Structure 1
Amino acid sequence: MTMKEQLNLFDNESDTAMYKHKITLEKIRNELINFGLTKSQAKVFIYLGKYGAKTASEISKALQLPRTETYHLVNSLQNLGLVTAELTHPTKYTAMEMKEAVTTLVKQEQDRIDTLAVKEESLSEMWDAIPYFAVETDESKSEKMQLLHGSGPISNKIKDMVSSSTESIKVLGSMADVLRMYYADVFDWVKDSTSELDIVISPSSQMPEFLSDLDQNKIRMCDLKTENKCFVINDSKEVLIFMRNANHPTRQIFAWWSDSDTLVDMMSTLFELSWEKGEKAY
């Protein structure tokens, strides 16, 4: 197998042999990221899992990674118990079977949770031992905001929004944003709730296959001349705005949540205008 053929595993060109597996590969990679791997660690693991034992040099060239970073990645995957090193020269690295790898990651996460659970009771006791000094007032409920860094806290906030929703969840974002929410099971959460899901995708593009199981009347394609807008609205009472969405060049994302009536009204108006301007998905 030539190096060019190996590169096809993560190639986005539609005429390549592996393109038909692109969606599945991206979903696998994102699931591994959800288990705690970095994007590069996930790519290395997938590459080794599908192409067999490789040297660090071969991994570096195939995935176009700096050699020093590649050594760090394979060493970190070894420390996680996901990759083994063969006693050859040069050293070759082999990935575990996916089922065994997932079991290993789940066990490590469970061990971490068990450790935190042990501390839960003692932490609560220490907290309750300190008296409250807040003074109750008759002031009306103030509007709140919260900055959220990373996919984990952001996904948890969206899940909370969906669980409290009784009417509608409105999503506006680029195709990359919608894809990320799909992989994070956001749409499944809404499907299991009593709320309606409305989606506006901007800029306009071809409807992807992964959205085919959703109600097409609830999806609009709209060209807002930008790919950096992404937000989620719950029942016109709270909004989550991505300050760095899926199209941002950095991996680290952060979002701003608020229940400000003014901000929610503004974003709801933008959504409705985009919905009216947009075209149906089919």
Structure 2
Amino acid sequence: MNTTQELTLFDNESEVELFKHKITLEKIKNELINFGLTSNQSKVFIYLGKYGSKTASEIAKALQLPRTETYHLVNSLQNMGLVTAELSHPTKYTSLEMKKAIATLVKQEQQRIEYLAGKEESLSQMWNELPFFVVETDESKSEKMQLLHGLAAITNKIKEMVGSSTENIRVFGSMADVLRLYHSDVFDWIDNAPTELKMVISPMTKKPEFVSDLDQDKIRSLVSGSDKKCFVINDSKEILIFMRNANHPTRQTFAWWSDSETLVEMMSMLFDLSWEKGEMV
């Protein structure tokens, strides 16, 4: 590969040798972003991983980045444990093998979560020591809403809903939605909670194996229907509606939660009508 091709690693030019791998490169870059790297940090890491040891000047030139920013990027990657610096002049930088890099990032995230979890009790105690100045008014009792981005935030909200449920959790969604909830342990939470499951799957043309493990009396199916609707109702007090459901990648999924009495009642009517029209699975 000649120098010109190296200079355009992430370019869109069709004559570049790595153009045929552009989609894969973008996927890897986006996954590294999910692990906490910035877009340019991801580019530098990928570049070093595929082109070997390079100086900051070579990295800056190849990726068309300002030299001062490049030094900041390689230093930050060193701090993450993803890049090492060779004792040479000028200094050359080398990236970890991808598997080791991911293991490093996962371990760091686990340590961060453990640290934050350890702060839960002390932070709550400090918070409770502060006086409250809230005056109860009609405004403070108004209906609420919340936008949730990403599957992790959404499933955490569903877990909260299940934890406060005393009557039933009603789920309406496509087969893909139900599978995603299943793999997120939502049905296990419901099974261990003092509530009952009622679910309508729409559309469903084939019965998946895991459905057989659930209470068949609590599931209905619709043969035809849109695969874009998915919502979860807790008792008659709150609802979570997927604005982007399992048709979209996990990181692009987002949902809208509300305790609006009117909205919950309206969506409950839709669920009940679908339940009556549905068939036993």
TM surpasses 0.5: yes
CA distance in 2, matches of 1:70, 1:164: 38
Please identify, of 227-236 and 241-250, the stretch whose mean Cα deviation from structure 2 is larger: 241-250
Indicate the residue corresponding to 2:38 in structure 1: none
1:142 paired residue number: 142
Please give the secondary structure, in 1, of the residue aligned with 2:204: coil
Q: CA deviation at 1:173?
A: 0.3
Residue 233 of structure 1 aligns with which residue?
A: 233
Q: How far apart in 2 are the matches of 1:140 and 1:119? A: 29
Deviations 1:49-101 (A, max 9, x none): xxxxxxxx99x98xx7625336746857x88999xxxxxxxxxx7857xxxx8
Is the partner of 1:226 in helix, strand or coil?
coil
Alignment of 1:182-201 (within 5 A): 182-201=182-201
Q: Which amino acid aligns with 1:190?
A: I
Q: Secondary structure at the match of 2:275?
A: helix
Pair 133,68 (structure 1): closer, same or farther in 2 beyond 3 Å:
same
- Contact preservation (8 Å) 1:203, 1:226: yes
Query: Once structures 1 and 2 are overlaid, which stretch shifts more, 210-219 or 245-254?
Result: 245-254
Q: Please give the residue correspondences for 1:165-184 in structure 2 after superposition, counting only pairs within 5 Å.
A: 165-184=165-184
Match of 1:109 in 2: 109
Q: Deviations over 1:191-242 (max 9, x none)?
A: 1112111111111321111212111221111145311110001112111111
C-alpha RMSD of matched pairs (Å): 3.7
Q: What amino acid is aligned across from residue 66 of structure 1 in structure 2?
A: I
Matched residue type, 2:162 = V
With over 3 angstroms needed to count, the CA separation of the structure-2 counterparts of 1:203 and 1:81, relative to structure 1, is: farther
TM-score by length of 1: 0.61
Pair member with larger Rg: 2
Partner of 1:66: 23
Counterparts of 1:126 and 1:134 in 2: how far apart (Å)?
18
Distance 2:117 2:191 in 1: 31
Verify the 8 A CA contact 1:203 1:224 in the aligned structure 2: yes
1:210-249 aligned at under 5 Å gives the runs: 210-223=210-223, 225-248=225-248
Local SS of the residue matching 1:212: helix
> 1:254 Cα deviation (Å)?
1.1
Query: 1:218/1:129 Cα in 2 relative to 1: closer, same or farther (>3 Å)?
Result: closer
Q: C-alpha distance in 2, partners of 1:196/1:243? A: 25
User: Given the superposition, is the C-alpha separation of residues 209 and 105 from structure 1 closer, same or farther in structure 2, using an over 3 Å criterion?
Assistant: farther
Pairwise CA distance, 1:167? 1.3
Return closer, same or farther for 1:159/1:65 CA change in 2, 3 Å cut-off.
farther
Q: Secondary structure at the match of 1:204?
A: coil
Unaligned runs of 5+ residues in structure 1 are 1-56, 83-92
Q: 1:126/1:165 Cα in 2 relative to 1: closer, same or farther (>3 Å)?
A: closer
Counterparts of 1:259 and 1:67, CA distance in 2: 42
On the 8 A contact 1:228/1:248 being kept in 2, the answer is no
* Aligned-residue offset at 1:148: 1.1
| Alpha-carbon distance in structure 2 between the residues aligned to 1:147 and 1:203 | 26
User: Secondary structure at the residue paired with 2:200?
Assistant: strand
Q: Which residue of 2 aligns with 1:259?
A: 259
Deviates more, 1:141-150 or 1:128-137: 128-137
SS at match of 1:181: helix
Supply the distance in 1 between the matched residues of 2:22 and 2:241 (Cα, whole angstroms): 32
Distance 1:263 1:71, change over 3 A: closer
**Local SS of the residue matching 2:136:** coil
CA distance in 2, matches of 1:131, 1:202: 50
Deviates more, 1:127-136 or 1:228-237: 127-136
Return the alpha-carbon distance in structure 1 between the equivalents of residues 163 and 121 of structure 2.
Answer: 27
